[in-house]
Structure 1
Amino acid sequence: METIKSRAEFERVFSRGKRYNDALLRIRVVPTSEGDLPKVAFVAPKRLGNAVYRNRCKRVLREAARACSLPRDGYDVILFSTDKTHDSSPERVATSLERLLERAGVVCG
């Protein structure tokens, strides 16, 4: 799974991407440039809690992303955890993620 790492990549997704919200997670999606590999990032803001709590949230997001076969061709996606992500199963988060991806118009890969 190719991940977004650089500040420039994050800023590109934030400035050009479109945001979609759900109770279990939020996503920001942007089409990739021609020839670029699709990438994904996992974010758990500090306001959610300590490092152990945030790492659990990111593990749940990563498992949900695998279940939804992210990253999908042609799109960069950033997944943000919410306060409900921690207590949810990866399967429930994957269902919410699929619903958000459909709203975003991201085609199945």
Structure 2
Amino acid sequence: MKKKLRIKKNSEFQHVFQKGESFANRQFVIYVLEKPEQDFFRIGLSVSKKIGNAVVRNQIKRYIRQSFLELKDEISTGKDYVIIARKPASEMDFFQVKSSLVHVLKRAKVLRRFPGEKN
């Protein structure tokens, strides 16, 4: 993902945690913070060491980034998203991760048009 689309600083993460709204399912927790002055969305990823070794954690992060890349046209802009992976995510393949993210994004009501739906 491009640099401007990422949240990297701890202070930015904390701001989203404190001011944002959270939505969750069994695999992911997503914090959403409105940023109306921003004409794009940014994502921050948090994958704990409890989930697995570095290989597993990096794989989950790649899956999440790729899912957001594929869904970028459907996701609402002007928001910051922080995605926290939970333990069950470590045993999922890419398609399961993507469908789980779609599920939690639907709960957050931030998908403009849901994948698979006809116009």
Aligned to 1:77: 81
Q: Give me the whole-angstrom Cα distance separating, in 2, the residues matched to 1:64 and 1:85.
A: 14
In the alignment, structure 1 residue 103 sits paired with structure 2 residue 107: yes
* Counterpart pick for 2:25 among 18, 22, 27: 22
CA deviation string 1:15-60 (max 9, x = no partner)? 0111111122221111114246421011111121221221122122
CA drift at 1:4: 0.2
User: What amino acid sits opposite 2:57 in the alignment?
Assistant: R
Q: Is the radius of gyration larger for structure 1 or structure 2?
A: 2
Segments of structure 2 that go 5 or more residues without pairing to the other structure are 114-119
Percent identity reads 28
Q: Which runs of structure 2 are paired with 1:4-83 in the superposition (5 Å)?
A: 4-35=7-38, 37-69=40-72, 72-83=76-87
Structure 1 residues 36 and 9: alpha-carbon distance in aligned structure 2, compared to 1, 3 A threshold: farther
Structure 1 residues 103 and 29: alpha-carbon distance in aligned structure 2, compared to 1, 3 A threshold: same
Q: Give me the whole-angstrom Cα distance separating, in 2, the residues matched to 1:7 and 1:40.
A: 13
Matched position secondary structure for 1:84: helix
Q: How many positions carry a matched residue from both structures? A: 109
Structure 1 residues 105 and 53: alpha-carbon distance in aligned structure 2, compared to 1, 3 A threshold: same
CA deviation string 1:83-109 (max 9, x = no partner)? 221221222222221221122121428
Q: Give me the whole-angstrom Cα distance separating, in 1, the residues matched to 2:90 and 2:71.
A: 18
Conserved in 1, the CA contact under 8 Å of 2:33 and 2:79? yes
